Amino acid sequence: MAAEDGLQVHRRALVLDTHFDTAVNLTIAGWDVMQRHTWAEDFTQVDYPRLVEGGVDGGFWTLYVGQGPRTPEGHAKARDTALGIAIRIREMVARNHAAFALATRADDAERIVASGRQVVYLSMENGYPLGKDLSLLTLFHSLGVRMLGPVHLANNELADSATDTNGPEWQGLSPLGRKLVEECNRLGIVLDASHASDETLRQLIQFSAVPIVLSHSGCKAVYDHKRNIDDDLLRALAAKGGVIQMNAFSSYVAPLPVDPARNNALKELLARQGGWGGFDTTGKREGYLLARREIERTNPAPRATFDQFMSHVLHALKVAGPDHVGFSGDFDGGGGVEGLMDVTGMPRITERLLAEGYSEEDIKKFWSGNVLRVLRAAEVHAAAVH
């Protein structure tokens, strides 16, 4: 199929990415989601003009809070940070209501796209903001959260992470984590096992009354990284109706060479900037960008290739089947491979899959049909238990 035909198929599909970290950019002085940016200019990957150009109809915007101290003070700070992110995203939608709309149900996506607007679902990456208080789930649900990953780079009160350097603490879900599963099922929040340990994933599949999602993950059979999942778990996920959204984060896609000079330069730059919170003034942001562009010129980041990313996709399709695979670039959260560095590159995936023999109906499943089926199942279960 010609590339232009592939683009037409792509634009006919309802295209959702299940993991946008773009909320972080909403705090940058002078940064406007309605203006077109470029990766080379400011290292961002999602904005309204690029979403339209890439034929992307929206996605799940994350409330991401990195793992911090597991103390009452740490949990309270994380809670307030997550609430602030939710409010920031909702304010962005309200301010640009002709271009974006908040979605809280599976059926909202098609209606919003038909109105010519971008679909904005909310998800929470890392259950750290909940601390030990699962009643907060009701609050976050009321703000629109419909997907939740219990854990991120380190273990917390809910579950074991795939990448905690101290190894497992709970041997999967904690007792509180099992209650989290029940509460998410009750509310209609889809559980997200990306970043979870293998045993946590196994237990999420086992204990959840509805299918689960991996919002941005890859296949261990292609690259044996702790963040990726093996074929047995992939089959188990599919057997329960779940979906894996293929991740375009280079260091999880393929082994990459280490560049100490680049890493040291980035570390020094961030220290001079005063951490990521140092971007609250336009002048400081511009200083950072000038220095960052120079680092990219002299020590460009090693990246996986688009073909290496597609190897994960094709393997997952072979093992799990077309009803259980979707996509996420992990954009604005470190994602991107050569040839897919922002949302404008998404049609390449469709074109490649059509060339591999997948049908237009398959394409529609991959881009939104599968994940919306899971969200709809969560809604049906929640309605049944209330």
Six token digits for residue 370: 């599968």
The pLDDT tens digits along the chain (386 residues) read 566 689 999 999 999 999 999 999 999 888 999 999 999 999 999 999 999 999 999 999 999 999 999 999 999 999 999 999 999 999 999 999 999 999 999 999 999 999 999 999 999 999 999 999 999 999 999 999 999 999 999 999 999 999 999 999 999 999 999 999 999 999 999 999 999 999 999 999 999 999 999 999 999 999 999 999 999 999 999 999 999 999 999 999 999 999 999 999 999 998 887 765 555 556 678 888 999 999 999 999 999 999 999 999 999 999 999 999 999 999 999 999 999 999 999 999 999 999 999 999 999 999 999 999 999 999 999 999 98
What pLDDT shows up at residue 275? 63
What pLDDT shows up at residue 252? 98
Closest CA to 194 of 121, 144, 252: 252
Q: Which residues contact 213 (CB under 8 A, 6 or more apart)?
A: 18, 147, 190, 191, 192, 193, 242, 243, 244, 245, 371, 374
Q: Provide the residue type at 72 as one letter.
A: P
What pLDDT shows up at residue 216? 98
Distance, CA of 179 to CA of 198 (rounded, Å): 19
What pLDDT shows up at residue 386? 81
What pLDDT shows up at residue 2? 61
What pLDDT shows up at residue 158? 98
Six token digits for residue 173: 């879900």
* Helix/strand/coil for 11: helix
Closest CA to 184 of 211, 156, 153: 211
* 197, HSE (Cβ side, Cα atoms, 13 Å): 22
DSSP string covering 313-363: HHHHHHHH-GGGEEEE--TTTT-BBBTBSSGGGTHHHHHHHHHTT--HHHH
Q: Which residues contact 10 (CB under 8 A, 6 or more apart)?
A: 55, 346, 347, 350, 351, 363
Q: Which residues contact 215 (CB under 8 A, 6 or more apart)?
A: 18, 19, 60, 123, 125, 147, 149, 192, 194, 245, 328
Distance, CA of 195 to CA of 263 (rounded, Å): 23
What pLDDT shows up at residue 20? 98
By the 10 Å C-beta count (0-12 exposed, 13-18 middle, 19+ buried), 166 is classed as exposed
What pLDDT shows up at residue 287? 85
Distance, CA of 20 to CA of 123 (rounded, Å): 9
Query: What is the pTM (predicted TM-score) of this model?
Result: 0.96
Phi, psi of 147 (to 5 degrees): -145, 145
Most distant CA pair in the chain, distance: 58
Contact 349, 16 (CB under 8 A): no
What pLDDT shows up at residue 280? 55
Domains of the chain, start order: 3-256+303-385 (3.20.20.140)
Closest CA to 216 of 245, 241, 253, 252: 245
Contact 132, 76 (CB under 8 A): no
